[in-house]
Structure 1
Amino acid sequence: MTVSTEDLLWPACADPADLTSIESVPMADRGLPETTYALLTRAAALWPDRTAITVLPEAARWREPVRRTYAELLADVHRYANLLHRLGVRRGDAVALMSPNCAELVPATLAAQLAGIAAPLNGSLSPQHLTELLARSGARILITAGPELAPSTWDTARRLPVDTLLVLRPTDAEDTPELPDGARFLDDLAAGEDPTEFAGKPPTSTDLAGLFHTGGTTGAPKLAAHTHTNEVADAWMLAANPLLDADSVLFAALPLFHVNALVVTLLSPLFNGQQVLWAGPLGYRDPGLIGTFWKIVEHYSVTAMSAVPTVYAVLTHLPVDADITGLRYAMVGASPLPEAVRDGFQAHTGVTLVEGYGLTEATCATARSFPDAPRPGAVGQRLPYQQVKAVRVHEDGTWQDLPAGEVGVLVISGPTVFPGYVTGRDDHGHTLDGLGTLTEGWLNTGDLARVDEDGFIHLAGRAKDLIIRGGHNIDPAMVEDAMLSHPAVTAASAVGKPDEHAGEVPVAYVTLRPGAAVTEDELCQWANDQVTERAAAPKAVWVLDALPVTDVGKPYKLALRADATRRALAEALNGASVDTVIEDGSITAMVTVAGEVDRHGAESVLSRYALRSTVRVRP
């Protein structure tokens, strides 16, 4: 019996038990498209008249979308890629993109991967970080938001060291002003280019497709390289999901400089010819979107969505004022999902939250959950052809594999593991280095986890985020889950506060619902009543207007640890002036005292803490 290419492309993947049979066929025999361009051309050939993307100009105009069919999307990609080729972009050249989501950014991103290498940038990064990322990537062309689309991004773009600015208009813009400084609108410049084919040499599977910055909490963010194989393989692993068929509509509101937006809501839908509904430029940060979200879900028959836990926490408190029975699949990732958020959202909406796990260095997704086969406490089963295990990392850097069920550092191998970070360029293109994260093809995630015999991953916190109290390891999630079970708390983050006796003790930072009348002492007592492990009960709870996040939108616990350090030392030093500085991932306490006597006393107190510090006498 002959097995068709399409049959090989779509194995049964509805149950955790299917993993073994899927991997009995080598991935190379599955017939995946070699590149993101080949993936797009396949979709346009199979479904030329089907709607590929529907883009909202902004939340207030959610009934006035711009649509592109698959044939039209491919034509736009050809025009943009041919323009880039004419401007000198070749296979090893990076094209930077810095813009909030809009109708032109989707084809521009795919065009950059066709003509060269896409290097998306977060416009909220500091100009110094952006300049360094541009230098690492070597990008001389920047596709950027214009003054009407994102004024602050445009102001930043004009000061960056690039040769050419190609400017994006707002979605469905009618009148746009003339651009200064010789910049030109991308769509205008590309209008005369051939929409039927690419004039250059298409990429191959091993060529670099994208350069994505990651981190950004200390120093410049690192630039992680993705090959076309990385991106296509990960997108296919997610597309092999029987919960979503060709008629499914996916909602996308995460920014395209984030790998989740690229892989989950741009590339993966291309496999099945699905429609993606893109929110306006502010995405989930648009108050108008949240206020009309359920009506949008009903109007566009949204089937699936992808967001981070904080979005679902907000939606849990949003009255469901529309028919959302068509919403079958709500994906969540990027940071751990608190139990209180999961239970609250599901009870409020009737929609199951499907948790996943991934990181930029493994392209995007490494594990996904099964709504009909829940595994409590797990973030999901490893995706096909990705191998995962827990290891013990010894002081000399060597690894020891741990048996199933034992907690260790999670490591990953397989076709989605990146080739390294960009560290420079030479005559052969970008130079890459794992910078300590890669060992014989295995990626050290820095996460603590146990992997059960079925390949489900149970996270136990970030290795560097563990709170170590007197030698006892405390998972911050234990404290955070307790805080989030309080009806007034909307977000929570637990960190260690320096302690001269225990090394550190747990404390928590929270945000509250508007108008909530609860004190910090009451919240602390609540947590102490809820936390089952006595050592994990927080010593203090502090309320903030917002919890800090990194430049790529992930929780930034280092800033909270710095604040907890400042509070602890100010108390121990009886009101001395204490500040903290974050450098190279470490916290340094800066103490200012009135005189030499106070200096010696402060140094004596600081010696009781395992932290870096400096003491100076006030002038």
Structure 2
Amino acid sequence: MTENLLWPPRYRQPTDLPDIEAVPLADRGLPESTYALLSRAATLWPERTALTVLPEAARWREPARRTFADLLADVHRYANLLRELGIRRSDAVALMSPNCADLIPATLAAQLAGIAAPLNGGLSRDYLHELLRRSGARVLITAGPELAGGTWETAQALAPELDAILVVRPTGAAGEPAPLPGIEGVRVGYLDELASGMDSSTFAGDPPRASDLAALFHTGGTTGIPKLAAHTHANEIVNAWAIAANSVLDADSVIFAALPLFHVNALVVTLLAPLFKGQQAVWAGPLGYREPALYGQFWQIVEHYRIAAMSAVPTVYAVLAQCPVDADITSLRYAAVGAAPLPAAVRESFESHTGATLVEGYGLTEATCASAASLPDTPRPDAVGQRLPYQQVKVLRPGTWEELPPGETGILAISGPTVFAGYVVGRDEHGYVLDGLGKLADGWLDTGDLARIDEDAFVYLAGRAKDVIIRGGHNIDPAMIEDALLAHPGVTAAGAVGRPDTHSGEVPVAYVTLAPGAETTEDELLEWASDHMPERTAVPKTVTVLDALPMTDIGKPSKLALRADATRRAICEALAPFRGVEVDALIEDGTVVATVTVPSEVDESEVKGILGQYAIPSRIEVRP
């Protein structure tokens, strides 16, 4: 490896990007694979702490720790067990568990022996069955009854499709584990116990190459059942390197990790990127940011472990901005935010409350993880960041796909070494059959997002060309909600959209029309949707009955009009205490803009403060 070219001399200003790219990526000497990256870290810093994993928020002073040498040894043991179970380079290993100390090396071991296929255990069993079928995984690494009872029940329900179920225990679990039930035709056992006799010094098979598949990540279900996006080792290595290359953080900087490992951000940003510089990662308990008790302890955790950086979604920072700072948090250099629009009020309240810079980023599973990132020293609040090194971005005119000049708004497209290999659409004698399914053209990825780009390659999002609903960073396919409501005998049409929400960014709501004479209420339809929804986060907050769903001029359903109505209702509800305030939601250049008219006796600043809690454009007009 060409270590002297691995890192650019400086990467913390917008003007540093051309200097970085003056060195060809191939000359950087990046590791061949995630395994090679870990091996390098274990060679350079064998006794340095790599992982500090908290059992839960209440026990944050009782972590499990692994050095880089320990981590590599565990990866060897787990990968050799997988090999003994028949896993080879083109075989997927499914992983379905909340975060815990053993899941981290298990994920890296799956990428060493075969291909990791992380699963969100919160998906419906029908979805999980389909994802297992598409991946072809016959081995499942999963949470046992001590760690997550519901996940363990789901794992047993999936057993007929599996050859082996390997169980992980809670972080720091003591004593003998509970006996596991026998399942006919399936090898069932505790991962660490079964791997105890395996060689920890080396991997018995051939190591992966850069072009080999490393992982299959489900996309979040933006178009029906989630797709499986295939990432190569090169995809993940280049993306992790670009994140680690930022010279704001040094080798002693500690990273806080709390997103689930079935999310690409957790893998790339908080697991792989720290391996490049030998940084310690402190992992939260199994519930991560979803554990309410974490917030009461959070600033003490930051002080104790000297946390320098963290990554989360806007809802997390909205909560932290309300938590009293009861510790010395001067170690916190910056907090990264992505996955959902960032309300200006959340930025302002978090930064004024903590003194730490909140920096936005942008990415998607089909481009591995991150494609744009803000620079802490030179923030541009309206941008989601500058494109990352060696990735290219452009905007295209919808319909004609003509490239537009800087400053004009169009469909954002990305190319470069992090663009995924394609979606899994089948298997043949050579392995997985991959297809871009219309998202790839001449190496360019159609993100489906509207954006403009400035002369410095900073990206400014301008809404979504797709109709996906993003609730707290989680993608929800509106078709899932619509299909559930259309199954009701009285419903003739359905449309689901996101309604602005101060906590989650947006929440799903639905609109329906009814057959003549249908006797059902909005409350009954809401209960029906709840009972028939395959994913709990997708259950709509409201169901509204309309005489007809709005249509475009050419007769297609108008989701924009529904979003405008949902926006108007949300803002009306928020501003209800102010007498005489009028709210409208207008569609301007494909974006919903909340327009609020206030009488002169109403305090305009109070209204502005409420509007600032929503990640939507708005304006205020004062009525004499």
* TM-score band w.r.t. shorter chain: 0.7 to 0.9
- Map residues 137-216 of structure 1 onto 2, 5 A cutoff: 137-160=135-158, 161-175=161-175, 176-181=177-182, 183-216=188-221
Aligned to 1:576: none
Equivalent residue letter for 1:170: P
In 2 relative to 1, CA 197–419 (structure 1 residues): closer, same or farther, beyond 3 Å?
Answer: same
In 2 relative to 1, CA 494–133 (structure 1 residues): closer, same or farther, beyond 3 Å?
Answer: closer
Task: State the 1:340 CA deviation.
Answer: 1.3
Task: State the 1:137 CA deviation.
Answer: 0.6
Task: State the 1:352 CA deviation.
Answer: 0.6
Q: 2:424 aligns with which of 422, 425, 430?
A: 422
Equivalent residue letter for 2:375: F
In 2 relative to 1, CA 348–524 (structure 1 residues): closer, same or farther, beyond 3 Å?
Answer: farther
Aligned to 1:402: 404
Q: Distance in 2 between matches of 1:19 and 1:146?
A: 46
Is the Cα–Cα contact under 8 Å of residues 584 and 596 in structure 2 kept in the other structure?
Answer: no
- Map residues 441-590 of structure 1 onto 2, 5 A cutoff: 441-465=443-467, 491-492=505-506, 498-499=549-550, 504=561, 506-508=564-566, 521-522=576-577, 528=583, 536-537=593-594
Task: State the 1:290 CA deviation.
Answer: 1.3
Task: State the 1:338 CA deviation.
Answer: 1.4
Q: Distance in 2 between matches of 1:204 and 1:8?
A: 19
Q: Distance in 2 between matches of 1:229 and 1:132?
A: 27
Q: Distance in 1 between matches of 2:552 and 2:22?
A: 55
In 2 relative to 1, CA 298–158 (structure 1 residues): closer, same or farther, beyond 3 Å?
Answer: same
Q: 1:432 aligns with which of 431, 434, 443?
A: 434
Equivalent residue letter for 2:402: Q
Q: 1:352 aligns with which of 357, 364, 373?
A: 357
Is the Cα–Cα contact under 8 Å of residues 524 and 539 in structure 1 kept in the other structure?
Answer: no
Aligned to 1:112: 110
Equivalent residue letter for 2:234: T
In 2 relative to 1, CA 500–218 (structure 1 residues): closer, same or farther, beyond 3 Å?
Answer: closer
Q: 1:332 aligns with which of 307, 330, 337?
A: 337
Q: Secondary structure at the match of 2:371?
A: strand
In 2 relative to 1, CA 209–491 (structure 1 residues): closer, same or farther, beyond 3 Å?
Answer: closer
Q: Secondary structure at the match of 2:433?
A: strand
Equivalent residue letter for 2:180: L
- CA displacement, residues 470-512 of structure 1 (integer Å, 9 cap, x when unaligned): xxxxxx99x95xx85xxxx775569997547996261346999
Q: Distance in 1 between matches of 2:419 and 2:504?
A: 34
Is the Cα–Cα contact under 8 Å of residues 247 and 274 in structure 1 kept in the other structure?
Answer: yes
In 2 relative to 1, CA 459–15 (structure 1 residues): closer, same or farther, beyond 3 Å?
Answer: same
Q: Secondary structure at the match of 1:393?
A: coil
Equivalent residue letter for 1:327: L
Q: 2:245 aligns with which of 240, 246, 256?
A: 240
Is the Cα–Cα contact under 8 Å of residues 12 and 376 in structure 2 kept in the other structure?
Answer: no
Equivalent residue letter for 1:304: A
Q: Distance in 2 between matches of 1:65 and 1:466?
A: 38
In 2 relative to 1, CA 510–197 (structure 1 residues): closer, same or farther, beyond 3 Å?
Answer: farther
- CA displacement, residues 362-386 of structure 1 (integer Å, 9 cap, x when unaligned): 0000011112212231100000000
The worse-fitting range, judged by mean Cα deviation, of 248-257 and 9-18 is: 9-18
Task: State the 1:531 CA deviation.
Answer: 9.4
- CA displacement, residues 231-288 of structure 1 (integer Å, 9 cap, x when unaligned): 0000000000111111111100000000000000000000000000000000001011
Is the Cα–Cα contact under 8 Å of residues 314 and 505 in structure 2 kept in the other structure?
Answer: no
Unaligned runs of 5+ in 2: 470-496, 512-548, 598-613, 617-624
Task: State the 1:537 CA deviation.
Answer: 2.8
Q: Report how many residues are paired.
A: 518
Equivalent residue letter for 2:416: G
Equivalent residue letter for 1:507: D
Task: State the 1:5 CA deviation.
Answer: 2.8
Matched, 1:254 2:252: no
Aligned to 2:610: none
Equivalent residue letter for 1:79: R
Q: Distance in 1 between matches of 2:582 and 2:35?
A: 51
Task: State the 1:210 CA deviation.
Answer: 0.2
TM-score, length basis structure 2: 0.78
TM-score, length basis structure 1: 0.79
Q: Distance in 2 between matches of 1:251 and 1:361?
A: 25
Is the Cα–Cα contact under 8 Å of residues 406 and 453 in structure 2 kept in the other structure?
Answer: yes
Q: Distance in 2 between matches of 1:336 and 1:535?
A: 14
Is the Cα–Cα contact under 8 Å of residues 568 and 584 in structure 2 kept in the other structure?
Answer: no
Task: State the 1:163 CA deviation.
Answer: 1.2
Is the Cα–Cα contact under 8 Å of residues 385 and 414 in structure 1 kept in the other structure?
Answer: yes
- CA displacement, residues 108-159 of structure 1 (integer Å, 9 cap, x when unaligned): 0000000000000000111111111111111000000000000000000001
Task: State the 1:539 CA deviation.
Answer: 9.8
Aligned to 2:99: 101
Task: State the 1:8 CA deviation.
Answer: 4.0
Is the Cα–Cα contact under 8 Å of residues 491 and 510 in structure 1 kept in the other structure?
Answer: no
Equivalent residue letter for 1:537: A
Q: Secondary structure at the match of 1:356?
A: strand
In 2 relative to 1, CA 53–128 (structure 1 residues): closer, same or farther, beyond 3 Å?
Answer: same
The worse-fitting range, judged by mean Cα deviation, of 274-283 and 458-467 is: 458-467
CA RMSD of aligned residues (A): 3.0
Identity of aligned residues (%): 65
Aligned to 2:14: 16
Q: Distance in 2 between matches of 1:135 and 1:456?
A: 40
Q: 1:227 aligns with which of 223, 229, 232?
A: 232
Aligned to 2:122: 124
Is the Cα–Cα contact under 8 Å of residues 2 and 27 in structure 2 kept in the other structure?
Answer: no
Q: Distance in 1 between matches of 2:73 and 2:181?
A: 28
Q: Distance in 1 between matches of 2:582 and 2:430?
A: 56
Q: Distance in 1 between matches of 2:468 and 2:102?
A: 43
Aligned to 1:45: 43
Q: Distance in 1 between matches of 2:27 and 2:214?
A: 22
Is the Cα–Cα contact under 8 Å of residues 309 and 335 in structure 1 kept in the other structure?
Answer: yes
Q: Distance in 1 between matches of 2:552 and 2:250?
A: 58
Q: Distance in 2 between matches of 1:12 and 1:527?
A: 51
Equivalent residue letter for 1:421: Y
Q: Secondary structure at the match of 1:144?
A: strand
- CA displacement, residues 40-88 of structure 1 (integer Å, 9 cap, x when unaligned): 0000000000000000111111110000000000000000000101111
Task: State the 1:453 CA deviation.
Answer: 1.0
In 2 relative to 1, CA 18–425 (structure 1 residues): closer, same or farther, beyond 3 Å?
Answer: same
- CA displacement, residues 591-617 of structure 1 (integer Å, 9 cap, x when unaligned): xxxxxxxxxxxxxxxxxxxxxxxxxxx
Q: Secondary structure at the match of 1:53?
A: strand
Q: Secondary structure at the match of 1:200?
A: coil
Q: Distance in 2 between matches of 1:204 and 1:302?
A: 34
Q: Distance in 1 between matches of 2:466 and 2:573?
A: 31
Q: 2:379 aligns with which of 365, 374, 395?
A: 374
Q: Secondary structure at the match of 1:507?
A: helix
Q: Distance in 2 between matches of 1:159 and 1:330?
A: 39
Q: 2:286 aligns with which of 281, 284, 294?
A: 281
Q: Distance in 2 between matches of 1:8 and 1:146?
A: 41
